[in-house]
Amino acid sequence: MDTLENLTIIWIGVLLAHFMARATRLTPVLFYLFMGAVYVNTGLLPTEPGEFIRVFAEVGIILIMFALGFEESTDNFMTGVKRSWGIAFFGGVAPFLSAYLLALYFWEDSNMALVVGLSMAATAVSLTLMSLKSEGLNKTRAATGIMTSALLDDIASLALVAVIIPIASGQAAVGIMSVGLILGKAIVFFVVVAILSLWVLPTESKGPLYFVPGLGRFGIGHIFAFTRGQRTLVILIFVMLVAISSHALGLHPAVGAYMAGLILREEYFKKAPTAIAGVEDDDEAPEDFKSIKRLIDNVAFVWIGPVFFVALGAKIIFDMDLLISVVPYVALLTLTLITVQILSAGLAARYTGGFNFQESIMIGLGMLGRAELAFVVMDIAYVQNDILSEAAFYTLMVTAFFMNVSVPVGIRLWKPYFVKSLEKE
């Protein structure tokens, strides 16, 4: 019963977060994190959430990322990749070097400094896109720029994890082959996704499968025709398979979920092929694009997805004596990273991506979040390999918390200027 009680407490916190967000006109994400921190530090939630809550939260982030990808246009995303390479490069290198140098100054340990730099290099894209969605800005060019840049950052960070963690922990040296293997797996995943998008899902294939007997004219529209009334289930199975494949190839499952949503187009949900014997329309339970999207949005953004953010906030456990001792470290690291991240990503967006000034600042603000990969690195370095000291671990945890808080606040404050620039176009 403890797991059910914990889930009920989290859902109560989610509901309270919605009320607080409505009263303050801020995004609920900020209050999800706040409620998680309050719960764990008052003893209402355990410091270790348990397997059930952990898996529930993981499903939540997968659904959130799928729902966000489901709203995005594939063409817009591919255009965004071409414009975002500079944002990903400069927006990742600058925070890494800044965090590395500060950590080296604080604790005079190069291995620890490498891990600190790595944990502060990758952007928490789910937090940013959730915040943008709350403000109605998730379909803008800036949102696409943030998403594509963050995906590229994640791939680079995974490669760095393979290199830095073994070196910092004193394990055997890592060669070019192992790094190349990780990058190769990431490339394989995106190639598979491209094949799905171009030649497998479309009802009328124009690729190599067109010449395969029995497959050339078979696509997802036919599957929908056979599964009227169960389209949502078919979609969720597809999402989970892509997410599992992503994880198997070394990427976060949420990346796979986003890509699954990205390649599912609205045209696939139009009237399915009728030339299939024995298949009749189910008028009593229509599952068209809009109804499926409403259902997925409700699940992702209201009652499963928020559990991820509450659980994320619950990672902040306050030890007052230790907390006071790391305040100078947290203050300097947070202020430096916020400044460097906004400047590096913003300038890259302006001069390598061709975004206007308001979009560039929004991209810089959107790249501030630190969540999934940052906490994975912290867990590996602190819990599994004892690379980080307790002071360094607390510094990173609290810094990540404040940077996460800065995302919805910054987006909210910059929104009027950003919207005004969109109206001029």
Categorize the per-residue pLDDT at 284 as very low, low, confident or very high, splitting at 50, 70 and 90.
very low
Categorize the per-residue pLDDT at 357 as very low, low, confident or very high, splitting at 50, 70 and 90.
very high
Query: Which of 231, 211, 209 lies closest to 222, judged by CA?
Result: 231
Helix and strand totals (H; E) in the chain: 17, 0
Give the architecture-level CATH label for domain 51-185+306-424. Answer: Up-down Bundle (1.20)
Q: DSSP alpha helices (H): ranges in 264-319? A: 289-298, 305-313
- 65-102: pLDDT as tens digits: 888 778 766 666 666 677 788 888 898 899 999 999 99
Candidate from 26-35, 240-249, 273-282, 374-383 with smallest mean pLDDT: 273-282
Alpha-carbon gap, residue 233 to 228, rounded angstroms: 10
- Which amino acid does the sequence have at 266? E
Alpha-carbon gap, residue 34 to 32, rounded angstroms: 5
Looking at residue 147, its pLDDT comes to 79
Categorize the per-residue pLDDT at 282 as very low, low, confident or very high, splitting at 50, 70 and 90.
very low
Alpha-carbon gap, residue 238 to 260, rounded angstroms: 8
- Burial code (b: 16+ CB inside 10 Å, e: under 16) for 129-157 equals bbbbbbbebbebbbbbbbbbbbbbbbbbb
Inter-CA distances, 17 with 42, 312, 317, Å = 17, 14, 20
Looking at residue 117, its pLDDT comes to 92
For the chain, the structural domain boundaries read 51-185+306-424
Whether residue 190 has pLDDT greater than 80: no
Q: Which two tokens stand for residue 272?
A: 């399915």
Exposed/middle/buried for residue 85 (C-beta within 10 Å: 0-12, 13-18, 19+)? middle
Q: Which two tokens stand for residue 393?
A: 């671990």
Whether residue 275 has pLDDT greater than 60: no
Q: Which two tokens stand for residue 257?
A: 């979920």
% residues pLDDT > 70 (the chain): 77
Range among 43-52, 120-129, 176-185 with highest mean pLDDT value: 43-52
Beta-carbon neighbour count of residue 54 at 10 Å?
14
Span 26-34, average pLDDT:
80
- Mean pLDDT across the chain: 80
Beta-carbon neighbour count of residue 80 at 10 Å?
23
- Burial code (b: 16+ CB inside 10 Å, e: under 16) for 176-188 equals eeeeeebeebbee
Could you tell me which residue, 334 or 248, shows the higher pLDDT?
Answer: 334
Its pTM stands at 0.70
Collapsing DSSP states into helix, strand and coil, what is residue 46?
coil
Half-sphere exposure of 189 (CA within 13 A, CB side): 27
Per DSSP (E only), the strands in 93-232 are none
Categorize the per-residue pLDDT at 286 as very low, low, confident or very high, splitting at 50, 70 and 90.
very low
Span 415-425, average pLDDT:
82
